[in-house]
Structure 1
């Protein structure tokens, strides 16, 4: 069985990702990667190597990590191919008259199946694994999104990495913030409320589950989400103040 080697992805993340501080998002150097033939070749080779893997032969955790890493690497590749852009939604390559973004375009073939980013997230990761923490792991190249992880997901560390990602996002202003006694939450919790129990009470339970003490105290008297928001600006190192 061919097992996935995620080290090449790890090296790209190490050289091109800048970690945010104090709840600021991690940012990626798309322009630098685009300007580097070596890095572009490494990214394409990594994705090709994953295409040669049989995910059915992997353990559950290894398969989860495989699909998350593939999703994130493909997202970086499609952004780099169309860079410079202000938002991933500007990449209008999905089929359909009213679609926007790259999510519907078939980008990769795994196990004989042509797959889009939507196929990976909504056809495989969400239904087959049933873990809402997937929303903290897959990255859509946007400031409002949970961070692109600074290292590859790996089966042996999966649970801890998912919990870490959940905590980092929920406790950032992008995930949840309470101002004037009102809660503003990421639109992710609205778009995918089904995965968080199907109700706003489920969303509140999710936030409280991962809230650090300071946020948990603010959430104590919150009975509803006042509003949802999301920043689609590209999580690009070239414009560090963008969307902040």
Structure 2
């Protein structure tokens, strides 16, 4: 009888552990995949809402894992929020500040995810030059630790017509995926006048200029990614089209 009870105990413990062993990176990918495929996604939303800070800190133990996860989360909940209530986009400032994404025991805003977690606690309106200090525990635990990854600006979709398309990201191939998205987006957004050596490109280069190493760094990126045949002498910016556009999906080739 005693041996039987011990077996039951260990089986129960194993079952509970198996139930709690959720791969949240896969949940985030499944969430975005289902949105793109127009399939139900409530299960993934609920799993994320039930996650704890300890869950995510344990799993997202590299910057690469964090970036892939948060890119998929951000892009997913933009689609969800604006599909459910597109009128919110009339006041974009309030839209991005509103706490709405339940995850890791917190309710986060899109600004929290983009500027605090992914951009290492940057002040939103500072061209990327100013940082916030004395941040809450959840932010310090979940944010990127290493160098700021400028390519996220060409992977985050904020729901506007001028935003980069929505794509699925994975930790395993993130560098290749970010390169593809940056290259394709910049090709679409950039023109070059060889006579004046002037490039006209997306205004994201200006809004977040410190992330790119300043405007000189932005011009270098255009040359390095073969968007322009040489490093432009001057860089001008296109107006950003804030017209709401959902369902702008792109498949990254394998």
What is the TM-score with the length of structure 1 in the denominator?
A: 0.71
Secondary structure (helix, strand or coil) at the match of 2:205 reads helix
Secondary structure (helix, strand or coil) at the match of 1:48 reads helix
Unpaired runs of 5+ residues, structure 1, are 17-38, 93-98, 239-244
1:3-27: CA deviation from partner (whole Å, max 9, x where unpaired): 12223421331x35xxxxxxxxxxx
Secondary structure (helix, strand or coil) at the match of 1:133 reads helix
Give 4+ residue runs of structure 1 displaced > 4 Å after superposition: none
CA contact (8 A) 1:184 1:229 kept: no
Q: Which has the higher relative contact order, 1 or 2, with Cα contacts under 8 A spaced 6 or more apart? A: 1
Secondary structure (helix, strand or coil) at the match of 1:106 reads coil
Alpha-carbon separation, structure 2, partners of 1:118 and 1:8? 20
Report the CA distance between 1:113 and its aligned residue.
2.2
Unpaired runs of 5+ residues, structure 2, are 1-20, 121-142, 249-254
Question: Paired residue for 1:7, among 16, 25, 30?
Answer: 30
- Higher relative helix content: 2
Alpha-carbon separation, structure 1, partners of 2:247 and 2:69? 26
Report the CA distance between 1:186 and its aligned residue.
0.7
Secondary structure (helix, strand or coil) at the match of 2:165 reads coil
Residue 102 in structure 1 maps to residue 108 in structure 2: no
Superposition map of 1:92-241 within 5 A: 92=91, 100-127=93-120, 128-129=143-144, 130-149=148-167, 152-172=168-188, 174=189, 176-179=190-193, 181=196, 182-197=198-213, 199-211=214-226, 215-217=227-229, 220=230, 222-236=232-246
Alpha-carbon separation, structure 1, partners of 2:216 and 2:238? 15
Corresponding residue for 2:10?
none
CA contact (8 A) 1:108 1:116 kept: yes
What is the TM-score with the length of structure 2 in the denominator?
A: 0.68
Alpha-carbon separation, structure 2, partners of 1:177 and 1:126? 28
Corresponding residue for 1:21?
none
CA contact (8 A) 1:200 1:224 kept: no
Structure number with greater Rg is: 2
State the superposition RMSD in angstroms. Answer: 2.3
- Tell me the matched-pair count: 193
